[in-house]
Structure 1
Amino acid sequence: MEILKITDLEKHNKDTVLFSAFQLTISANEIVSVHSSMNVRSALLKILMGELPASSGSIYINEKDINESKRSYLKNISVLFLDDGLYERLTVKDHLSFYQAIFSSNFPIEEVARLVQLEDKSKVRVGKLTFSEQRRLHLSRIFFQNAELIIFEEPDQNVDLETKRVFIKAARELKARGKAILVLTGNMESALAVTDTVYRLDDKGLHPIEIQSEENEEEMQEGEPEEIIIQPARFEKIPTKVNDKIVLFDPPEIDYIESSDGQSHLNIKGESYPCMFTMTELESRLIPYGFFRCHRSYIVNLQKVREVITWTRNSFTLVLNDESKSSIPLSKSKMAELKEMLGLK
């Protein structure tokens, strides 16, 4: 059963494209993560909640459009905001009772307390809880509200390991109860923590992130094939590892690659991902895609370079057009090579 349907949704902020038109559907018993920048995440969440108009496109929840009936539309959404508030003078049990009453829920308080691992904190005032425990109390509201679509905004940001585990377990519990779950985050590890269905949303639209679990890899290797035929093939993806999963990136997504203590790291949209290939191997693979070994420790995507700055006769820097305007060193010997590539004298 299709719970969320997004059609041709697009948002501009003056002359800036936050995200291009995209399509997305989430069904019952499904978890989807959308990885994006903070600005994109904030705009998308406000559009979903009816607080910000989209530049174009439509959103349907249980086939209800917000323009038809905002009350019916919002009744089907439950959001765990990054900055939810709590009454610090109330106890945990007071909060749970309040949530149960306001949503007219039959969900037992004791069971919800157990699900968020706060059963031993029932008489503790919220002001005495740790930040992570307060986030778990926020999470409890989702069970009482019992909406069809659950949206998590950065659910495990700055929380302890126990709370991360509680969130993952709660998401899977909600999925088992037939809920559709959308995770909005700027952290790839958080996106991968609960699902293999991960997308990146940016000014070019919505793009699936290819995931391969090591467990699936092992299962594939268990059987002995009768015959192995090796065919020459050009593999265009660059693999990185996040926890126990292998994430595959298209070369154009990569801003630059940095080597530190013998480990190569791909830098993409402000995040760094460890790569199993050496810098020499990466250079060989990426040259056909417009990458340039600008320094012993750096490989840069020339399509992302905005400026070449000369500090002294022997000191040069490449400035990228990413959000943080990353500065990449350019060695003297490579400067001459770059000039030749660009047709400069």
Structure 2
Amino acid sequence: MGILRISELEKHNEHTVVFPAFNLEVSEREVVAIHASTNVRTTLLNIIMGGASASNGVVYINNETIEKSRGTFLAKIGGFFLQDGLYERLSVKEHLSFYQSIYGSTLAVDEVIRMVQLEGKRNQRVGKLSFSEQRRIHFSRLLFQNPDFLIFEEPDQNIDLETKRIFLKLVRAIKEKGKAMLVLTGNMESALAITDTVYRLDDKGFHTLDIRAEDNEKDLAEEKSKDELGNDEVIVQPVRFEKIPTKVNEKIVLFDPPEIDYIESSDGQSLIFIKGESYPCMFTMTDLEIRLHPYGFFRCHRSYIVNLQKVREVVTWTRNSFTLVLTDDKKSSIPLSKTKMAELKGMLGLK
């Protein structure tokens, strides 16, 4: 039986479907991500935390429901939310000591300060910390609380790379303790950095995203190609397309390939990202991969194509989790699959 169990949960606002009925179970040592719009994420979060009622269905935490016992239900949940506040006049150590006290934790304050890497800021007021450092304070609260189930809302939004490393390390430690975790995000890269179990929730339903199949699909495609072509040798002549068409309102806008930062596939639609703005493109990811290859573009993931000239860093989170950090103003980060990491190393002449 899962720690979190969602049964036939659905939400309607008058005549509008926010999301239809769906089921989900998250067990011990399991991390699951739901990729959804802001409205869907906020609505689901409010239902789970008791801030809103569902149109139908039930949410269970270790077989408890909020209707049966609100206090017992909420005591089992640890939350990391975008709107979490802090006591800015307290120092880091005072803040963590407060958490230790209210949760009755035996975890040492100095140990947690070390875990979130704020040793040099222990006596500094929280209000003087950077946004990323303040988010580490919120991480520490969950360590003292030690709940059965943890729910994260956009956990790595606008944080620096060091804080993201700390977060992923803490997720692994919490997972080893037998906890269950649910991540709500609108950023696919965030979801993939944390887990391979990703779902999409929208007004059309609850869909499993096929993340693990990437490498197998490549092999199957190659085998299919060989079967169809027999022993005939096929020579593909690369064609240089000088412009990539996108559609803005009712107009077709043409972009030069060097302008493009990266391309993402979302709900079957290819989105071209340029200086933080996205533009829908009529071509498939496979079409774009072929067209843009002569310009130094690389299919770094099943759902992403990146302009290698815009890549600043290759970050390793775990043995199987990698991210490319770009040179744009937002320092965009996009996922790099394990297989593609090996291919990229070969391209760079690295072992």
- The 3-state SS of whatever aligns with 1:28 is coil
**Alpha-carbon RMSD:** 3.0
Conserved 8 A contact 2:3-2:62: yes
Give a deviation string over 1:93-152, Cα, whole Å, max 9, x none.
000000000000111112211221112211010111001000111111000111000001
Give a deviation string over 1:313-343, Cα, whole Å, max 9, x none.
xxxxxxxxxxxxxxxxxxxxxxxxxxxxxxx
Q: Counterparts in 2 of 1:4-153, with a 5 A limit?
A: 4-153=4-153
Q: Cα gap change, 1:281/1:168 in structure 2, threshold over 3 Å: closer, same or farther?
A: same
User: Using the alignment, how far apart are the partners of 1:17 and 1:230 within structure 2?
Assistant: 45
User: Using the alignment, how far apart are the partners of 1:109 and 1:141 within structure 2?
Assistant: 11
Q: Counterparts in 2 of 1:231-310, with a 5 A limit?
A: 231=227, 260-262=255-257, 265-266=263-264, 268=266, 272=271, 277-279=286-288
- The 3-state SS of whatever aligns with 1:105 is coil
Give a deviation string over 1:280-312, Cα, whole Å, max 9, x none.
979xxxxxxxxxxxxxxxxxxxxxxxxxxxxxx
Q: Counterparts in 2 of 1:323-334, with a 5 A limit?
A: none
Structure 1 alignment gaps of length 5 or more: 222-226, 234-256, 283-345
Residue of structure 2 equivalent to 1:328? none
Q: How much does 1:8 deviate?
A: 0.5
- The 3-state SS of whatever aligns with 2:132 is helix
User: Using the alignment, how far apart are the partners of 1:273 and 1:208 within structure 2?
Assistant: 24
Q: Percent identity?
A: 53
Please report the TM-score for the alignment, with normalisation by the length of structure 1.
0.66
- The 3-state SS of whatever aligns with 1:59 is strand
Q: Cα gap change, 1:258/1:57 in structure 2, threshold over 3 Å: closer, same or farther?
A: farther
- The 3-state SS of whatever aligns with 2:212 is strand
Q: Cα gap change, 1:138/1:276 in structure 2, threshold over 3 Å: closer, same or farther?
A: same
- The 3-state SS of whatever aligns with 2:286 is coil
Conserved 8 A contact 2:89-2:126: yes
Structure 2 alignment gaps of length 5 or more: 230-251, 274-283, 292-351
Q: Cα gap change, 1:273/1:170 in structure 2, threshold over 3 Å: closer, same or farther?
A: farther
Q: Counterparts in 2 of 1:93-242, with a 5 A limit?
A: 93-212=93-212, 231=227
Which amino acid letter does the alignment assign opposite residue 29 of structure 1?
Answer: R
- The 3-state SS of whatever aligns with 1:24 is strand
Q: Cα gap change, 1:130/1:24 in structure 2, threshold over 3 Å: closer, same or farther?
A: same
User: Using the alignment, how far apart are the partners of 1:279 and 1:271 within structure 2?
Assistant: 9
Q: How much does 1:272 deviate?
A: 3.6
Residue of structure 1 equivalent to 2:240? none
Conserved 8 A contact 1:258-1:267: no
For the pair shown, the structure with the greater C-alpha radius of gyration is 1
Alignment length (residue pairs): 251
Q: How much does 1:267 deviate?
A: 5.4
Which amino acid letter does the alignment assign opposite residue 63 of structure 2?
Answer: E
Q: Cα gap change, 1:272/1:43 in structure 2, threshold over 3 Å: closer, same or farther?
A: same
User: Using the alignment, how far apart are the partners of 2:92 and 2:69 within structure 1?
Assistant: 34
User: Using the alignment, how far apart are the partners of 2:289 and 2:80 within structure 1?
Assistant: 44
User: Using the alignment, how far apart are the partners of 2:227 and 2:253 within structure 1?
Assistant: 32
Give runs of ≥4 in structure 1 deviating > 6 Å. none
Please report the TM-score for the alignment, with normalisation by the length of structure 2.
0.65
